[in-house]
Amino acid sequence: MKRLRHLLTALSVVCVGLSTHAQVSIGARGGVSLAKTTGNGGFIENFTGNLDYIVSGNGAIFLKVPIAGGLSFRPELGYKQSGAGISSNNLLDLVGVNIPLGGSIKQRLTYIQAPMLFQYDFGYEDSPVQPYLIAGPTFNYLADGKIVSRADLILFQTQPTRTKIGLGTFNRFEVGAAGGAGLSFAVGSSKIFVEGRYERGLTRLYDTPLVRVPVHNQSFSVLAGFAIPLAR
């Protein structure tokens, strides 16, 4: 956590320095993700069976600091959820009648996230619509973890049960990479945008001293947001 605070402090100093020479925008974005914990070559699935993607939300605030031409620096601070799910649809033969019984178990991991992205806008700055690309590293801190379970009982589902899990075996600090593309639309001096993004954790999810478990986070996100220029 100290490393994340130091990173954000250094980032704020850089942004203040850059903002004296460029028109900086501030904004917010949010959206929905398909997230999954997976191993290299299906490692974790060898023990758990097929894992499902989980649907989760994410959001962040950000600065957009022009550097040169269409290139900008876009640091963000927000949150994301990752994890995976397992579902089953077993059949129980009861009095000669097959009755579907099953359920699902989902691991949800909540991260404080600080992506350090670079954005390149195509076209002219005053164009009403601008396509753009983003890419850069992400720095994430695991803040919370839960197991959410639900049972399917014949014609209805039970209410989900949420159980907090210990984080002692997890790597709390995650370094990853993100990339994506989007479209921004001019609304007066402000902009709104839609964006697709892929993220991949580069550090291992579990921090075990004896076995190096090759398990990482990944997600596909659809995002929307806005950016407002700061007064100079």
pLDDT tens, 48-81? Answer: 556 788 999 999 999 999 999 999 999 999 999 9
Q: Residue 35: give its domain's CATH number.
A: 2.40.160.20
Query: Distance between CA atoms of 229 and 126, rounded to whole angstroms?
Result: 13
In a domain, 64, yes or no: yes
* Domain with 211 in it: 2-78+112-141+173-229
Query: Count of CB atoms within 10 A of residue 178's CB?
Result: 20
- State whether residue 115 is helix, strand or coil: strand
Q: For position 123, what pLDDT does the model report?
A: 87
- State whether residue 79 is helix, strand or coil: strand
In a domain, 51, yes or no: yes
In a domain, 83, yes or no: no
pLDDT above 70 for 9: no
Residues in contact with 10: Cβ distance below 8 Å, sequence separation at least 6, in sequence order: none
In a domain, 205, yes or no: yes
Number of domains in the chain: 1
Query: Distance between CA atoms of 100 and 42, rounded to whole angstroms?
Result: 28
> What H or E segment, with its residue span, contains residue 4?
helix 2-19
In a domain, 104, yes or no: no
pLDDT band at 205 (very low <50, low <70, confident <90, very high): confident
Q: For position 126, what pLDDT does the model report?
A: 80
What is the mean predicted confidence (pLDDT) over 34-47? 66
In a domain, 97, yes or no: no
pLDDT band at 124 (very low <50, low <70, confident <90, very high): confident
Query: What is the percent of the chain where pLDDT is above 90?
Result: 48
Query: What is the percent of the chain where pLDDT is above 70?
Result: 72
In a domain, 66, yes or no: yes
Q: For position 153, what pLDDT does the model report?
A: 62
CB 196 within 8 A of CB 180: yes
In a domain, 215, yes or no: yes
